[in-house]
Amino acid sequence: MAEEQTVQSEETQEPRERLDPETRARRDGALRHVRKYGDPALRTRARPVEVFDAALADEVRRMGNLMDDAIGIGLAATQLGVMHRLLVYRVDPEAPLGVLVNPEFEYKSEELETMEEGCLSLPGVGVEVERPAEVRVRATDETGAPIVVEASGLEARVIQHEIDHLDGVLILDRTSRDQRKQAMRAMREAVAGGSPPDSPAVSA
């Protein structure tokens, strides 16, 4: 039976109203670059990266900066309308930026965990998603050097969330029908509110 927890995957749990004006403005500016639900890019499978050059390094830096400014902990290239199999993440604020290019799962544990996830592309939405508790991913870094990441807990969840984005899959596809209906209502209310709201537990 899956262990139930609540966490925030793509976005940290800092309430928007507690942010100082400069941080809030930076966050709102970053979120304007993120494609939102209904954008075709979010339903498109990304293409493998074949060229590892200065442009890719710049793309990684831009994604990392936007993710940090949005107070997020994960971001996929497709969320910015770039069809590259590339994601960045940083679960621990003190950790270096994690970069996975052309990621592929080598292992997913049979043990499952259920946590509430949000998404920078789904304003105001939080739904429970069941995922493997541990994963091993083979990828390359932005220079093309091969890497293997073994992750558990929140890190594993964020990586799975972002790889879903690269495959055109959203958290709405991984939750119950009732939660999906509630999520759609929450998004409509968020859009009607006119400003980027807080996303719940795991936001990426």
Which residue ranges make up each domain of the chain? 3-203
- Give the confidence band of 151 by pLDDT, cuts at 50, 70, 90: very high
Pairing of strands 146-152, 202-203: unpaired
Count Cβ atoms below 10 Å from residue 181 Cβ, excluding itself.
11
Q: Is 110 a catalytic residue?
A: no
Tell whether the model's pLDDT for residue 95 goes beyond 60.
Answer: yes
User: Model confidence over 40-73: pLDDT tens digits?
Assistant: 999 999 999 999 999 999 999 999 999 999 999 9
Place of tokens 């966490």: 7
Count Cβ atoms below 10 Å from residue 107 Cβ, excluding itself.
11
Tell whether the model's pLDDT for residue 161 goes beyond 80.
Answer: yes
Tell whether the model's pLDDT for residue 5 goes beyond 50.
Answer: no
- Going by the DSSP 8-state scheme, the letter that residue 48 receives in this structure is P
Residue 94: predicted pLDDT: 92
Q: What is the mean pLDDT of residues 85-97?
A: 96
* Contact between residue 200 and residue 137 where contact means Cβ atoms under 8 Å apart: no
Report the C-alpha gap between 16 and 101 in whole angstroms.
31
Report the C-alpha gap between 160 and 130 in whole angstroms.
11
Q: Write out the two tokens for 32.
A: 């304007």
Within the chain, residue ranges assigned H as helices are 21-31, 54-69, 153-166, 177-193
Strand extents, DSSP E, the chain: 3-4, 74-76, 86-89, 98-108, 112-119, 122-132, 134-140, 146-152, 202-203
Percentage of the chain exceeding pLDDT 70: 86
Report the C-alpha gap between 162 and 80 in whole angstroms.
12
Whether the model clears a pTM of 0.85, i.e. scores above it, the answer is yes
* Active-site annotation holder among 3, 10, 162, 189: 162
Could you please state the CATH topology (level 3) that the domain comprising 3-203 is classified under. Peptide Deformylase (3.90.45)
* Contact between residue 88 and residue 74 where contact means Cβ atoms under 8 Å apart: yes
Residue 85: predicted pLDDT: 98
CA dihedral 121, 161, 129, 1 (to 10 degrees): -170
What mean pLDDT is reported for the chain?
88
80 phi, psi to nearest 5 deg: -105, 10
